[in-house]
Amino acid sequence: MAHILVADDDGELVNLQRCLLEALGHEVETALSTSGTMRQLERRTPDLIVIDLRFPTAAEGMALIRGIRQAGCRQPLIVLSGWPDDLQGAPEEQMVSRIVVKGSVRELLRTIAELLAA
DSSP label at residue 91 = G
- Helix, strand, coil fractions of the chain, as percent rounded to 5: 50, 20, 30
pLDDT band at 103 (very low <50, low <70, confident <90, very high): confident
Q: What is the CATH number of the domain that holds 38?
A: 3.40.50.2300
| Mean pLDDT, rounded, for 97-115 | 94
pLDDT band at 52 (very low <50, low <70, confident <90, very high): very high
> What confidence score (pLDDT) does residue 88 get?
83
Number of domains present in the structure of the chain: 1
Across the beta sheet with 77-81, what order do the strands follow?
A: 27-31, 3-7, 48-52, 77-81, 98-101
> What confidence score (pLDDT) does residue 56 get?
85
pLDDT in tens, 58-69: 899 999 999 999
Find the domain containing 106 and state its range: 3-117
| Mean pLDDT, rounded, for 18-42 | 97
84 pLDDT more than 80: no
Higher pLDDT, 36 or 85: 36
